[in-house]
């Protein structure tokens, strides 16, 4: 199973949600690869920043590295979870999206991609099982979201005091709600302390039931 997590604007907790989902996937479903296209996953998972090459380096136009070389770039987080960090800030030349799509489609891992607010290449869209948009019930977020690729489902980060409801989000984006996660300070504290991995089941388990 492969899933792209994305959002229409920053500040919607996309990376935290993708990271927590990856931890739970590894615990419940076995080998999982989290691909960090944004660069924030190490901080969220309490990992040291890699100084070596990452996914952006593998994607470089002139690179000829294969799937095995890609996996060797990953960092082991838990027995079943590997993170492929961003590496270089930018991809040199035309990204090898077609090659990455082939790796994902043939992988025995559960592949989770944190795409953040970045561009979603059609090559990846064509091979992933789900595209999940993470949003808050915010007018600006929804306005921008209508201009993005249509997601398969939505995860709503619920904030108290918002005028818009979860039903409003589903209606505007024409997609089902996969989960409703409260905007909770205990989640923020776990991330700040580098404890998201050990607390993912308690903090997110009740909301991710699959």
| Cβ within 8 Å of residue 20, ≥6 positions away | 196, 200, 203, 204, 208
Which tens digit of pLDDT belongs to each residue from 173-207?
A: 999 999 999 999 999 999 999 999 999 999 999 99
Neighbours of 111 (CB within 10 A): 26
Note whether residue 210 is domain-resident: no
Residue 131 lies in a domain: yes
For residue 8, pLDDT over 80 is answered with yes
The tokens describing 162, both together, are: 């918002």
Per-residue b/e over 22-40, b at no fewer than 16 CB within 10 Å?
Answer: bbbbbbeeeebbbbbbbbb
The mean of the pLDDT values for the chain is: 93
Domain holding 159, by residue range, is 2-204
Q: Is residue 209 part of a domain?
A: no
Count the domains in the chain.
1
Q: Would the pTM of this model clear 0.85, i.e. be above it?
A: yes
pLDDT digit string (tens) for 39-75? 999 999 999 888 899 999 999 999 999 999 999 999 9
Structural domain includes residue 64: yes
Domain CATH for 85: 3.40.50.300
């Amino acid at each position: 199973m492969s899933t792209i997590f994305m959002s229409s604007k920053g500040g919607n907790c996309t990376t935290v949600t993708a990271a927590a989902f990856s931890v739970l996937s590894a615990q419940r479903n076995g080998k999982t690869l989290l691909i960090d296209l944004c660069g924030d996953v190490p901080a969220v998972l309490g990992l040291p920043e890699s100084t070596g090459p990452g996914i952006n380096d593998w994607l470089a136009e002139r690179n000829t590295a294969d799937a095995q070389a890609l996996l060797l770039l990953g960092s082991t987080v838990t027995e079943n979870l590997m993170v492929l960090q961003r590496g270089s800030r930018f991809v040199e030349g035309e990204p090898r999206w077609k090659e990455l799509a082939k790796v994902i489609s043939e992988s025995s891992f559960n592949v989770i991609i944190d795409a953040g607010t970045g561009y979603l290449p059609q090559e990846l869209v064509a091979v992933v099982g789900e595209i999940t948009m993470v949003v808050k019930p915010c007018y600006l977020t929804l306005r921008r979201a209508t201009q993005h690729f249509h997601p398969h489902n939505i995860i709503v980060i619920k904030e108290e005091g918002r005028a818009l409801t979860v039903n409003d989000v589903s209606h505007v984006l024409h997609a089902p709600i996969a989960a409703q996660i409260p905007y909770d300070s205990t989640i923020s504290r776990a991330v700040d302390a580098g404890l998201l991995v050990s607390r993912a089941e308690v903090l997110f388990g009740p909301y991710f039931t699959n």
